[in-house]
Structure 1
């Protein structure tokens, strides 16, 4: 397939660390469903409007199947044909297989269960901040807080030994980086897969009181399915929340008025988390769906087989849905309904866990360190423009 000359590539250049590329806003205003060229020559669509994206996410005529996808950025695997998802990789599947696998996990991530976890999460946060304060007065907040806390939480939930964190964190960074070579990516998948396979086999032999042990006890999954489910939960469970904690702190430090409000009004904590999720939108590349048949999407003909990229950052800044969307307003009324966790049957399974970790982590951080400040110039904070999930590589702070 040849690339249509009129189809541009996905814009990624950000005007500042917190705002989406300017071109996305222009498209949303003038052409919310626009042509998009993929590196492998496929020509599909880019959706930048909130309602248009939401409609795609809830329409079963758009597929999540991995073998139908095309990757919108230059990447070591971008030009290779996609294969069907491995058993257990339910986020890249459609019904009925997606529903079968997700059903087994839904009960593990209920609001009630996440509420019950709050004391443990508070303990992890307090311990990380105790160590941070003891070693102060300055540190890299990503290495000492934003990454360890969600890693500890997901390790405990899954039953993964925390002492193995360096291995899975490095493998996760390699897989998420747009700069990794094919050899490095495949090596990271193999290393993570072997580590988790061995862990799963131990859970099957002797089920434990954690998510993997619970899945093993059902007897409804193969070892391969459990291994790949563990892979998804482990990577997603620490990578996304770690980036939100780091980038969220950076955003608060760059908006001192909102930071002061956050400290002074603890009752807005839940709304503040929703606003940070909306405002920062760390799904850097967007969400991908593929049309299973010719269909009309808000007046645009999308043909069967065409790949659609949904820009979460553009949709979350849509003025048709959010008033003054480019402003950070931690007490924003009607701030829920953002696209950061997706929508429809594939909406993020761990969203309640992420909310609890962010609320406890950020509120405790700003209470413990009332004089927290950047230790480098804002322009010297390294951002993850080269990764699938956006965030900051490090955040040097002082107090």
Structure 2
């Protein structure tokens, strides 16, 4: 069945929806959101700030807030603007790979490329000083801790305070960056809103892409035939990137009984099941991306002629950062297959250290070996 009741990691109950068609429909359903009439007593997904408790909002307020955020952010993250960044991203990738090959083998690809690239790019876009990366990295990791609510809250407050100070500086010294444009597009007296939104962009703008780059390296290492095929035809990298996005990590630590948390802001009926307003709904993106009715042989890692995965969502809540993530991933893997004859993990995936306590998951390090072309 595509919908069932499951316990959440935080100990409450939720509706888990796993079928592709059902998840896709709910992603576009405006009756689902992050708002709740009684957030203090709402069922929880995890004990971390990013996906912890909902904010207080009616369905109308939630949709108005979301529409305002989209209007504010969409121009800065449009596909055209992100495509114009491609030469800069390519330059950054080349520089990071130059640094990588200067290291003794095996080298940690996570620290050398996967982490710094998305951070460099999002810092430049937002107008955040790159030299502060280790500081906000610590706050981001604390904020996304799953089993320590106090640590998560403290990380969030530190990141929010940092962004508030940055917003105050940019009001005095505007720049050509997203945070300045957020300030200019927000009514006076909304500095805390801008700071919170900017903190969310900084967190989301690097954490998920870091994990996706690492995942791609693992998947290509486990599927050398795909590496060889890309070496022969690098123009197929975009199709492989979509498959990387569709796939879950080979070392995923999460149970299948998880998903993207949303709250029913009105009663919803799906598959003959009534979901009352206020209930927690987990949209099983990973499960939907492995639905055999949409993805024949879903466990296989191969470029697909049609790959309508739901990793970035669907409809009005489609991820605003999707074009940026695609540019970054495409440039990384194009560079790898053109610069290296062989490239891949230096250890078995079972030896990798999982970031099991982190919301985004992923690995703590990624030892790799290579030979130049």
Q: Which residue of 1 aligns with 2:316?
A: 345
The alpha carbon displacement at 1:391 in A equals: 1.7
8 Å Cα contact 1:69-1:289 kept in structure 2: no
Select which of 209, 214, 224 maps to 2:181. Answer: 214
Relative to structure 1, is the Cα distance of residues 259 and 113 closer, same or farther in structure 2, using a 3 angstrom cutoff?
Answer: same
The alpha carbon displacement at 1:123 in A equals: 1.0
The answer to whether structure 1 residue 84 and structure 2 residue 62 are counterparts is: no
**1:319 aligns to what SS in structure 2?**
coil
The alpha carbon displacement at 1:300 in A equals: 1.5
**1:135 aligns to what SS in structure 2?**
coil
Q: Which residue of 1 aligns with 2:243?
A: 275
The answer to whether structure 1 residue 54 and structure 2 residue 8 are counterparts is: no
Q: Which residue of 2 aligns with 1:18?
A: none
Distance in 2 between residues matched to 1:145 and 1:266, nearest whole Å: 20
Task: Tell which deviates more after alignment, 107-116 or 258-267.
Answer: 258-267
**1:160 aligns to what SS in structure 2?**
coil
Q: Which residue of 2 aligns with 1:203?
A: 170
Distance in 2 between residues matched to 1:385 and 1:60, nearest whole Å: 32
Q: Which residue of 2 aligns with 1:266?
A: 234
Select which of 160, 166, 187 maps to 2:128. Answer: 160
The alpha carbon displacement at 1:283 in A equals: 11
8 Å Cα contact 1:273-1:358 kept in structure 2: yes
The alpha carbon displacement at 1:82 in A equals: 4.8
Deviations for 1:184-204, whole angstroms, at most 9, x for unmatched residues?
Answer: 222211211121111111111
Distance in 1 between residues matched to 2:336 and 2:234, nearest whole Å: 13
Distance in 2 between residues matched to 1:65 and 1:81, nearest whole Å: 9
8 Å Cα contact 1:44-1:307 kept in structure 2: yes
The alpha carbon displacement at 1:344 in A equals: 2.0
The alpha carbon displacement at 1:277 in A equals: 0.4
Relative to structure 1, is the Cα distance of residues 373 and 40 closer, same or farther in structure 2, using a 3 angstrom cutoff?
Answer: closer
Tell me the TM-score normalized by structure 1.
0.84
The answer to whether structure 1 residue 317 and structure 2 residue 290 are counterparts is: yes
The answer to whether structure 1 residue 145 and structure 2 residue 118 are counterparts is: no
- 1:125-144, aligned counterparts within 5 Å? 125-144=93-112
Distance in 2 between residues matched to 1:70 and 1:345, nearest whole Å: 25
The alpha carbon displacement at 1:136 in A equals: 3.0
8 Å Cα contact 1:248-1:280 kept in structure 2: no
The alpha carbon displacement at 1:69 in A equals: 5.3
Relative to structure 1, is the Cα distance of residues 277 and 64 closer, same or farther in structure 2, using a 3 angstrom cutoff?
Answer: same
Distance in 2 between residues matched to 1:145 and 1:106, nearest whole Å: 27
**2:368 aligns to what SS in structure 1?**
strand
Q: Which residue of 1 aligns with 2:332?
A: 361
Distance in 2 between residues matched to 1:250 and 1:216, nearest whole Å: 40
Distance in 2 between residues matched to 1:288 and 1:69, nearest whole Å: 12
8 Å Cα contact 1:69-1:288 kept in structure 2: no
Deviations for 1:214-273, whole angstroms, at most 9, x for unmatched residues?
Answer: 222335362111101111110000101011001111111111011111221122111111
Larger RCO: Structure 1 or Structure 2 (Cα < 8 Å, ≥ 6 residues apart)? 2
The alpha carbon displacement at 1:359 in A equals: 0.2
Alpha-carbon RMSD across the aligned residues, in angstroms, is: 2.3
Structure 1, unpaired ranges of 5+: 1-30, 86-92
